[in-house]
Amino acid sequence: MYVVKLPRFIVVLYIIPSCLIIYFIIIFQHLVDHTFVKVVPQH
């Protein structure tokens, strides 16, 4: 049981943070794009 559970747990531990990091990067890029678009017309 442990041999089967441990690799799965490790895979989940690696997949979830990487997905969150990718999601955060996409949101951050969206925010940067929006602020850039809002700031440029004011100048």
In the prediction, which pLDDT does 26 show?
Answer: 95
Distance from C-alpha of 7 to C-alpha of 13, rounded to nearest angstrom: 10
**What is the reported pLDDT for 7?**
81
Alpha carbons 14 and 37: distance in angstroms, whole number: 35
Cβ atoms within 10 Å of 15's Cβ, excluding its own: 10
What is the pLDDT, as a whole number, of residue 10? 86
Q: What is the pLDDT of residue 40?
A: 63
Question: What value, to the nearest 5°, has the Cα angle with vertex 23 and ends 20 and 28?
Answer: 120
Q: What's the pTM value of the predicted model, to 2 decimals?
A: 0.50
Convert the pLDDT of each residue in 1-43 to its tens digit: 565 677 888 888 889 999 999 999 999 999 988 887 776 666 5
